[in-house]
Amino acid sequence: MEPPLGVLLGLILAAASSAQNNCTCATNKWTVCGQNGPENCTCTLVGSNHKVDCSTLTPKCLLMKAEMMLRKEKRVQGHPHELLDIDGIYSPDCEDSGIFKARQCNQADACWCVNTAGIRITKKADKSLRCDELVRTSWIYIQLKHKKTSGALDAAHVANALQRLFERRYKLHPKYIAAIKYNSPLIQIDLNQHDSGKSKCDVDIADVAYYFEKDIKNNSIFHSNSTLTVSVNGDALDIEKIRIYYIDEKPPLFSMNEQAGDVIAVVIAVVLAAASGITVLGIL
């Protein structure tokens, strides 16, 4: 006996509603998604028509653009004199591929050059400023501090847990994880990535660092928005502090004095070697 027409319509609507609810971007909560066919879910970035590949991480430039759009909306909806903490965040100009444009400008016609992590590497100037290339951030150094645990943690187990985290959650190839060192309660993570060894399908270490920092600060970009938990042999590794340092293939074009009073990235002059001339850029 065939079911009544009303029952069939109800099943179709329920199936459609379920498909619509499942149409989400697992790797980016700042998206608008819609069902475009029975098995095709298309997601675009908030505030733009830029399509997002939800099978991998979204480039940092696009994330910052979406985040600024959402912050502006919250400011309009909230108290008119409400202040937002936007230090280190600005609305960037992105290439179609999602990477930062080498030159960034604000609404006050001030311009500056950035690296592939979107951090300013020159002092601000007018629109006549030229940025001939997008300087590569090839080394990212992450320093973590965890809360006290009930027992001592084995250094090898901590390194293995974080290695799995970066590979599975952030889809980072293990060849880009140069080292993970542990000396309770401090953890040091070195990520190295040069253009010569990076394929198009590999995630960028700057994107990985941005996702990781958001996770640690309980503002996950992933759609689940769940609190990040790292387990080491059953013990939770509760991170309470994070510092990320960005090392470029070329030194920045300003001094520490020129940077004072207008901070996007804090420049820490660390001489890695007498002939290297590399300067570390850090978000503290």
pLDDT at 47 over 70: yes
pLDDT at 30 over 50: yes
H/E/C letters for each residue in the chain?
A: CCCCHHHHHHHHHHHHHHHHHCCCCCCCCCEEEEECCCCCEEEEECCCCCECCCCCCCCHHHHHHHHHHHHHHHHHHCCCCCCCCCCCCCCCCECCCCCECCEEECCCCCEEEEECCCCECCCCECCCCCCCCCECEEEEEEEEEECCCCCCCCHHHHHHHHHHHHHHCCCCCHHHEEEEEEECCEEEEEEECCHHHCCCCCCCHHHHHHHHHHHHCCCCCCCCCCCCCCEECCEECCEEEEEEEEEECCCCCCCHHHHCCCCCCEEECCCCCCCCCCCEEEEC
pLDDT, one tens digit per residue, over 210-267 is: 999 999 999 999 998 677 888 898 888 889 899 999 999 988 876 544 444 333 333 3
pLDDT at 103 over 60: yes
Tokens of 66: 């979406």
- Residue bearing tokens 């008119």: 80
pLDDT at 181 over 50: yes
Query: What pLDDT does 150 receive?
Result: 64
- Cα separations (Å) of 77 from 29, 72, 73, 84, 263? 20, 9, 6, 13, 28
- Under the banding of pLDDT at 50, 70 and 90, the label for residue 88 is low
Tokens of 49: 């028509």
Give the integer Cα–Cα distance in Å for 112 and 125: 6
Query: What pLDDT does 73 receive?
Result: 61
- Residue bearing tokens 């270490």: 205
Tell me if 53 sits within 8 A of 80, measured CB to CB.
no
Q: CA end-to-end span of the chain, whole Å? A: 69
Q: How far is CA 238 from the centre of its chain?
A: 20
- Under the banding of pLDDT at 50, 70 and 90, the label for residue 133 is very high
Tokens of 271: 């001489």
Tokens of 154: 């084995």
- Under the banding of pLDDT at 50, 70 and 90, the label for residue 21 is low
pLDDT, one tens digit per residue, over 245-255 is: 999 998 887 65
Give the integer Cα–Cα distance in Å for 58 and 73: 21
Q: Cβ atoms within 10 A of the Cβ of 107, count?
A: 6
User: Residue range 94-101: average pLDDT?
Assistant: 94
Query: What pLDDT does 173 receive?
Result: 96
Nearest 5°: phi and psi at 21? Answer: -65, -30
